[in-house]
Amino acid sequence: MAERWPVESASAAPQKGDRNVTWQGSAALVRQLCLVYRPADMRSLSMAASLLLALLVAPGCGDDRPPGTAGNESTLVGGPCEDNLDCDERLCQKGVPFPQGICTISCPSSNLCPSGSSCAETTLGWLCLVDCDTNSDCREGYACEPMTEAGTSGSATVLVCIASDAAS
């Protein structure tokens, strides 16, 4: 038994909303759909879908910090994380030097770290860490410690937030 699909009747072309169609071959179905769903209707639908998507996404874009800065709650550098997906740059370091995990970025020098952070030599490599002046500048579990600044061959130090027993 051959497949049967709705198509236009011999007397008139189908119009949007027509329910009076007969069943015939599948090629006619494609023609009917093209006639019923005109390009103008599809453009309107596409614009409406784009607007809806923009409205749904916009409220979740941002927080209180300027873009590209580090801080104790930043998902760029400094904030807590459980896995790489929690961080903007997809690098969550965990372990002894980083209680509750820390979002960070690998770096060759401090000038490539975001504002509010410096590139420090750690046991896990060269990483951007949050700058600090005192322990109160760091989140819970972290202390403001001097660390060797990456790329300086030990000639410079930076004050960054890290677990106090991890400083070298």
- pLDDT confidence tier of residue 65, bands split at 50, 70 and 90: very low
Residues 34 and 94: their CA atoms lie apart, in Å, by 56
What pTM did the predictor assign? 0.59
DSSP assignment of 97-151 equals: TEEEEEE--B-SSGGGSPBTEEEEEETTEEEEEEB-SSGGGSPTT-EEEEEEBTT
Cβ atoms 162, 98 nearer than 8 A: yes
Which letter does DSSP use for residue 116 in this model? T
Residues 82 and 13: their CA atoms lie apart, in Å, by 60
Q: pLDDT at residue 5 above 80?
A: no
Cβ atoms 106, 112 nearer than 8 A: no
Q: What are the tens digits of pLDDT across the range 27-61?
A: 555 455 555 545 555 555 455 555 544 444 333 33
Q: What pLDDT shows up at residue 68?
A: 74
